[in-house]
Amino acid sequence: MALHTINPTQTKAWEKLQKHFAELQSVTMQELFLKETNRAEQFNIIWKDFLLDYSKNNIDKETIQLLVELANECGLQSAISDYFEGALINQTENRAVLHTALRAKADAVINVEGVNVIPEVYEVKAKIKTFTNEVVTGVRKGYTGKTFTDVVNIGIGGSDLGPVMAVEALQFYKNHLNVHFVSNVDGDHANEIIKKLNPETTLFVIVSKTFTTQETLTNSETIRKWFLQSATQEDVAKHFVAVSTNMQKVTEFGINPDNVFPMWDWVGGRFSLWSAVGLSISLAVGYDNYEALLSGANEMDEHFKTTSFENNIPVILGLLSVWYNNFFGAESEALIPYTQYLQKLAPYLQQGTMESNGKSIGRDGKPVDYQTGTIIWGEPGTNAQHAFFQLIHQGTKLIPTDFVGYVEPLYGDWNHHDKLMSNFFAQTEALLHGKTAAQVQAEFDKQGLAPEKAAYLLPFKVFTGNKPTNTILIQKLTPKSLGALIAMYEHKIFVQGVVWNIFSFDQWGVELGKQLANSILEEIETESVKNHDSSTVFLLNYFLKNKKK
């Protein structure tokens, strides 16, 4: 079944939200907190070891009711069923969207065009498990009989960002294998990694759903060439494995068919870490931890599928994002994890969010006349505080921000952790309350600052506050809670896409640049610049001339 096509701005709920917004936009959060002393109790969701406090938003009870009405009018409930049941909701590619099937329980039945995909999923999982165990325990060896010490994941986009983010996030749970990632077609990237490696003890995992991606194929060929300087063509089979849907191209590359981990076209690249694309995660942390990651995601799936919208974490996050994007005109959202382990979460979710919802054509094939996909960005706190928080606190832009933190640190260093978390709590409080002119003046009086100087400095030191934040406080960073966190954001993206009436699971927008790069490459290689705009001709000629210097 296709997803409903409904322009959200034509719904009754949208009209009501516009009126509601007109009344609420001038009410500050400081006023809301004064009026409703129990906001935190009203606007929180506790689910397993997750707490979402969304009280520090420009909302009241009516906002949530109306946003839920909007979700209902946009057919969110039936869209969720279609999503989980394998309907072909990636309509422009005529595909189901079933990354959730990859983490479903073994007894689940999920049909794609009449065939239950779960047995196949479990077959591949069994293969990942056996392979992981053989590499980690040293049963599987390299071409000179040595055990593997290093693993290199060669892939880009969804075939890189998920694994690199999760391996980084789960460092605490890592085994002895050093896991590296080569993604950029920039040869310096591959060469920097290669120089750290010993071909005898390195395993290469080539990850490409299509096995046609320029970056991944170029990097794989460069690395194979380097490998063949000390090994033979036959040894390739021992050191190179692949994750792909394209069996023919993989075997042409010289990979032993037994070492190919299949995936399916119903797994989108940016949601693929749950498939064999996550092989390097499994290798890095061991299969049991990898399985725990999947089971955390599955628990979040159940929460999303079965919980009323008012108590549903991804639904509330998605609807709040629509509220700021479409009513307040917020252009971007920040994501600040208060753990260094999640330093790659924002880049990972940039692909998830922006490749999914960066669309301007509605599901009816017509241009939308409202804003869609938000820009997402962020860095871990407290580093971020010393980099760009100035703009969030005192700049001219509204940037709703998610704060993700953990109750427990992993090494039990409470001295550090209490400091870290005091910053975590202080920032959302400061963003809410700001600092009034009276408070600044009181500080000046206390310091005995000269009145003239105080009058000059005062406007610079005032913080308006009233900056929205969500606080997501999780007990501990474990494989399981990481799985649930990622799934939470995946479903938030889905909610936004349904409401915005766009197709979240295709990515036609990345094609044009790829096509042009291929034709320009030919011009560079043959040194014959063709017909382009004057800027591109000028740049190409400059490059060709100076290349020879």
Active site residues: 355, 386, 514
CA-CA-CA-CA torsion sign (319, 323, 329, 332): negative
**C-alpha dihedral (482, 487, 492, 498), degrees to nearest 10:** 170
Residue 215 C-beta: closest distance to ligand F6P, Å = 8
Residue 442 CB neighbour total at 10 angstroms:
11
Side chain identity at 180, as an amino acid letter?
A: H
| Nearest residue (CB) to ligand F6P, 220 versus 466 | 220
Residue 412 CB neighbour total at 10 angstroms:
8
Any contact of residue 111 with ligand F6P (CB under 6 A)? no
Burial of 11 (0-12, 13-18, 19+ CB in 10 A): middle
Spatial distance between the Cα atoms of 428 and 276, rounded to a whole number of angstroms: 38
Token digits for 351?
Answer: 């692909």
Q: Are 36 and 112 within 8 A, CB to CB?
A: no
Spatial distance between the Cα atoms of 288 and 149, rounded to a whole number of angstroms: 20
| Nearest residue (CB) to ligand F6P, 242 versus 283 | 242
Residue 169 C-beta: closest distance to ligand F6P, Å = 19
Residue 331 C-beta: closest distance to ligand F6P, Å = 22
Token digits for 256?
Answer: 């032993």
| Nearest residue (CB) to ligand F6P, 185 versus 544 | 185
Spatial distance between the Cα atoms of 29 and 60, rounded to a whole number of angstroms: 10
Closest residue to ligand F6P, based on beta-carbon distance: 269
Any contact of residue 63 with ligand F6P (CB under 6 A)? no
Any contact of residue 159 with ligand F6P (CB under 6 A)? yes
| Nearest residue (CB) to ligand F6P, 89 versus 384 | 89
Residue 44's DSSP bridge partners are: 53
Q: Contacting ligand F6P (CB under 6 A), which of 139, 510, 516, 537?
A: 510
159 DSSP assignment: G
| Touching ligand F6P, residues 252-271 (CB under 6 A) | 269-270
E strand residue ranges, 174-330: 178-182, 202-207, 240-244, 260-262
Helical ranges in 25-86 per DSSP H: 29-35, 39-42, 61-73, 76-85
Spatial distance between the Cα atoms of 112 and 89, rounded to a whole number of angstroms: 11
Phi-psi region of 179 (alpha: psi -120 to 50; beta: other; left: phi over 0): beta
Spatial distance between the Cα atoms of 501 and 372, rounded to a whole number of angstroms: 9
| Nearest residue (CB) to ligand F6P, 44 versus 210 | 210
| Nearest residue (CB) to ligand F6P, 298 versus 507 | 507
Binding segment for ligand F6P (CB under 6 A), chosen from 202-210, 254-262, 335-343, 432-440, is 202-210
Any contact of residue 125 with ligand F6P (CB under 6 A)? no
E strand residue ranges, 358-483: 375-377, 401-406, 469-474
Given the structure tokens 């931890």, which residue do they identify?
Answer: 289
| Nearest residue (CB) to ligand F6P, 14 versus 253 | 253
Residues 283-302: x where in contact with ligand F6P by CB under 6 A, - otherwise, as a string: --------------------
Spatial distance between the Cα atoms of 353 and 500, rounded to a whole number of angstroms: 13
| Nearest residue (CB) to ligand F6P, 159 versus 372 | 159
Site residue total, ligand F6P (CB under 6 A)? 14
351 DSSP assignment: I
Any contact of residue 162 with ligand F6P (CB under 6 A)? no
Residue 534 C-beta: closest distance to ligand F6P, Å = 29
| Touching ligand F6P, residues 314-353 (CB under 6 A) | none
Any contact of residue 157 with ligand F6P (CB under 6 A)? yes
Residue 349 C-beta: closest distance to ligand F6P, Å = 14
Residue 269 C-beta: closest distance to ligand F6P, Å = 2
Any contact of residue 158 with ligand F6P (CB under 6 A)? yes
Residues 204-223: x where in contact with ligand F6P by CB under 6 A, - otherwise, as a string: ----xxx--x--x-------
Helical ranges in 174-213 per DSSP H: 187-194
Residue 435 C-beta: closest distance to ligand F6P, Å = 43
Query: What residue ranges bind ligand F6P (CB under 6 A)?
Result: 156-159, 208-210, 213, 216, 269-270, 355, 507, 510
